[in-house]
Amino acid sequence: MNIQHDKAYTELLNLLADEPTAEKILSYVPSMMTLERVRHLLDAYQAGTLTVREWGELEALRELVFYKRMLNIYAHKKLDRNV
């Protein structure tokens, strides 16, 4: 695993370990370092220069984005029930 990849997972896991409110889940934004890495991977993908290792990292980050989107859906549902 890549350090940036590990960092992205660690950021989200730290958020979840703190038993966040729905609002905190919805307001979560990855670190600038993670966002820069994602931009690099997407640029390399578009340029056709992505290495096999970077491809695996990009796929893992896409999966992480999916989980975050699912968290957002559940957080919105929780907020809707509390209104």
Domain ranges for the chain: 3-11+22-81
The string of pLDDT tens digits covering residues 27-81 is 999 999 999 999 999 999 999 999 999 999 999 999 999 999 999 999 999 888 8
Q: Which tokens belong to 30?
A: 């990855």
pLDDT-based confidence at residue 8 (cuts at 50, 70, 90): confident
pTM of the model: 0.78
Q: Which tokens belong to 20?
A: 């966040």
Using DSSP's 3-state secondary structure scheme, residue 36 falls into helix
